[in-house]
A and B are shown apart, each in its own frame.
Chain A
Amino acid sequence: MAKALVIAFSSSDAEGAAAFGQALGAPFDILHFGDAPTDLGAGKMISASGDVPADALADGLKAVASGYSHIAAVSSMHSKDVMARLAGLLDAAMVTDVIAIASPTVFKRPIYAGSIIATIEVLAEPVVITFRPAGFAKPTRGGASTTETASLAGSGSTKRVSVSARASGRPDLTQAKFVVSGGRPLRDAQTFEQVIGGLADKLGAAVGATRAAVDSGIAPNECQVGQTGKIVAPDLYIAAGISGSTQHMAGIKDSKVIVAINKDPDAPIFEVADLGLVADLFDAVPEMTQKL
């Protein structure tokens, strides 16, 4: 009998965790790091804490995961680090970046940078899963789950030497309702922050960037959107000075409305944008910021 443990590695993952649990159509518990509501339809809300490297965290999760057929978490760099190790510890199958559930053992996921959607059948339980919440309906709220606390007592030999998290004060890119992204034409970090950051702050949006912009030092790593960066699914994605490579498109396909601003009328981004404006971003973006 299927029974899922869905892990929310941050408070902002809790609703996505419930969306997956409800879509799976099997009883599920939610293990959450940080706060979470108790009306998400889970059997149990299990609170956990601990900010440790992947070896200790996966070791701790292994004990909690016992007895579940599915152990799932919202896709992120953190969850891929930890969940794949957990799958290794459990000698389990793993399905990464699930976007749809056909049955409790059949899932859909993108491969080849999103050019292909593959159907994956799981042949053995338990299965470890990471998923993209944008693919699932918002969870039905109601009822009250029982609550408990798990203490994760895992061990590992990795030591964290230092952390440099850049607190931008902006919404989380993968959860944001609006995203404003820029490409290499932004020239330098200061210009990028001024033009792209300026519009983002006016909209209350997160800031994204292309791989080219990140590689040339214009935008910070954690802003990279695309196959090898973050996958976003906002209501509105504004791409300024972005040509629209396959790698970048892989990260923005799930956006509800894509706006492209580019001075090259033949840029591939216009083939997928809902609204396209052929204009110099240095004119158009500040004008938008001013008129909003």
Chain B
Amino acid sequence: MKILVPIKRVVDPYAKVRPLADGSGIDLTGQNFAINPFDEIAVEEAARIKERDPSTQVTAISIGGPEVEDQLRKALAMGADESILVESTAEWDSPSVADELAAYLKDNPTDVVIMGKQATDDDNNQVGQMLAAKLGWPQATFASKIELKPGEAVVTRETDTGEETLSLPLPAVITVDLRLNEPRYIALPGIIKARSKPLNKVAPKTSPRLRTCMTGVESPPSRQAGKRVGSVDELLAELKGRGVLNG
């Protein structure tokens, strides 16, 4: 079984981000970066599948500059067999990333792609589905349980009203949600040890063809702290007074 895990380097998801003063982009000064937390769950899932079946081959892949090596090394430390850095300093939107991944997969037969449902920077939730569409593969998004069998993935996924279980013939694309697993903690020595695993650098097979661009950013209107009330009676009176509840 061959598994591909595309990962994205993102600003530390727990850090506060602000627009640049001129509104042209995000102020990245002093920010730390990490594997997108949903992609980290995908790496963890692939690592667990490999632990159960050691014949599994897990490849992590990312597009970017040399700075992404940190995240690709972490994926190796978590259990991936090899990492691939598609070297590019260009800007890639979701359809372009999907095009590049599709081109990679055409040349590198793979049974299943496991990746995060969305990245915590742009919150798009697009690439997995676009990739599946471009390849003509089935998809299961928002996965909370994955069972791989010969030629088949059985995936339980979260829905708006509960959950459902799908059976997908392989190859397939699976995007993962928070409840799938809790990624292992990797201490620094583990990341250094993973330096013996291959991190291959390749040129992109496609050129990004941007179909959208971000032309500006701003802070959202902020909510002001309101009034403190001293009792439930006072709270109900305020709600009725404001017409929120019927008096």
Q: Contact residues of A with B, CB < 8 Å? A: 53-55, 58, 76-78, 80-81, 84-89, 91-97, 106, 110-124, 127, 156-167, 174, 211, 215, 220-222, 227-228, 230, 235-236, 246, 253, 256-259, 270-279, 284, 287-288, 291-292
Chain A interface helix/strand/loop/mixed: mixed
B217–A277 contact, CB under 8 A? no
Residue numbers in B under 8 Å from A161 (CB-CB): 154, 164-167
Of A88, A124, A273, the residue contacting B133 (CB under 8 A) is: A88
In the complex, the answer to whether A116 meets B132 with C-beta atoms within 8 Å is: no
Across the interface, A270 reaches (CB within 8 A) one of B210, B228, B233, B244, namely B228
Q: Which of B57-65, B69-77, B117-125, B188-196 contacts A (4 or more CB under 8 A)?
A: B117-125
DSSP majority for the B interface?
mixed
Interface residues of B (CB under 8 A from A): 11, 13, 16-19, 26, 93-95, 98, 118, 120-126, 128-134, 138-142, 144, 154, 158-169, 177-179, 210-220, 223-236, 238-239, 242, 244-245
A-B residue pairs, 6 tightest by C-beta: A88-B133, A93-B211, A88-B130, A84-B129, A274-B226, A165-B161
The smallest C-beta distance from A66 to any residue of chain B, in angstroms, reads 16
B244 contacts A235, CB within 8 Å? Answer: yes
Which residues of B sit under 8 angstroms from A227, Cβ to Cβ? 120, 123
B216 lies within 8 A of A119 (CB): yes
Whether the Cβ atoms of A276 and B228 lie closer than 8 Å is: yes
- By the criterion CB–CB under 8 Å, are A88 and B131 in contact? yes
Taking CB atoms, residues of chain A closer than 8 Å to B159 are: 77-78, 163, 165, 222
Contact B226 A273 (CB under 8 A): yes
Give min CB distance, A134 to chain B, whole Å: 13
- Alpha-carbon separation in the docked complex, A164 to B157 (Å): 10
